[in-house]
């Protein structure tokens, strides 16, 4: 007998930026999502509309609560990075080579497809739905693209893979790059601030400002681990995946870019499944 899991509360649904959008059509929300890159509220509104449906599909397949949370986040991750391809037609929607009668049906199809994929073991999954709701997770991943390769490497290895700065410094030395602990710590501090600043303002307001009346963020800067927990535990220090795309800064050498890309590739492989 499959245990039915209760759907987690969505505080986003009660936010004043989201409530007016809940009456909009799917086509309106998708259109504004595609046209207004500096606003995240449209994706959050779609999430609020269809998250219970996606959750209900997932929970009836005998998964553990940990795996349901993980799959739930993965579904929305895929939806987020596919919405640019959504076209509304007289027959329904077209998403690349996919056709569906409606956006709702497309989301159900995406969920059903993901259910068939192999999952990491429960002991390897560290994603916590309450710490990083899928919309925040998606926009944080997108925001990472605006950081330099070195900054991304420092954030990901220390906050997601739990490396110490000393271990990271040693790794870079093996790759022929030399940085002091002070330099790496500066990258860490500045990178976290820039990461949060790169989020759409409404995403920061919805997820990172607890007091809606004050209009000010919390005095305590959240850690990347709190904002963006990794999907699975660290899988080792040897990385041989295809290099990921990065945004290269002028003050990072080519050798460093290659080293950073190799390490980030494994992280992105984990996120993309």
The model's pTM is 0.75
- Here the tokens at position 136 are 């925040």
pLDDT for 175 equals 86
pLDDT along the chain (273 residues), means of 10: 55 93 97 95 96 87 78 92 95 93 94 83 77 89 88 86 91 91 94 90 87 42 48 30 26 39 48 40
Query: Which residue stretches of 99-231 are H helix?
Result: 103-115, 134-144, 149-155, 165-174, 181-197, 201-208, 224-227
CA 167 – CA 158 distance, rounded (Å): 9
The structural domains of the chain, ordered by start, are: 11-125 (1.10.1740), 137-272 (no CATH)
- Residue 227's pLDDT is 53
């Amino acid at each position: 007998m499959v245990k039915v899991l209760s759907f987690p509360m969505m505080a986003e649904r009660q936010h004043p930026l989201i409530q007016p959008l809940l009456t909009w059509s799917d086509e309106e929300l998708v259109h504004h999502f595609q046209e207004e890159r500096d606003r995240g509220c449209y994706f959050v509104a779609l999430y609020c509309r269809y998250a219970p449906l996606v959750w209900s599909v997932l929970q009836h397949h005998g998964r553990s609560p940990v795996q349901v949370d993980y799959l739930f986040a993965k579904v929305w991750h895929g939806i987020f990075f596919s919405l640019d391809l959504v076209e509304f037609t007289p027959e329904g929607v077209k998403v690349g080579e996919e056709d569906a009668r409606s956006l709702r049906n497309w989301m159900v199809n995406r969920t059903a497809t993901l259910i068939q994929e192999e999952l990491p073991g429960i002991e390897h999954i560290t994603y916590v739905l309450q710490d990083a709701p899928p919309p925040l997770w998606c926009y944080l991943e997108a925001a990472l693209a605006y950081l330099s390769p070195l900054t991304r490497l420092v954030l990901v290895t220390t906050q997601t893979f739990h490396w110490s700065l000393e271990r990271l410094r040693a790794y870079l030395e093996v790759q022929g790059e030399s940085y002091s602990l002070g330099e790496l710590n500066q990258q860490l501090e500045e990178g976290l601030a820039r990461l949060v600043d790169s989020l759409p303002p409404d995403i920061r307001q919805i997820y990172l400002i607890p007091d809606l009346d004050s209009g000010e963020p919390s005095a305590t800067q959240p850690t990347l681990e709190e904002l963006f927990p990794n999907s699975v535990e660290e899988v080792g220090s040897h990385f041989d995946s295809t290099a990921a795309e990065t945004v290269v800064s002028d003050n990072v050498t080519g050798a460093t870019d290659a080293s950073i890309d190799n390490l980030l590739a494994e992280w992105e492989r984990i996120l993309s499944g």
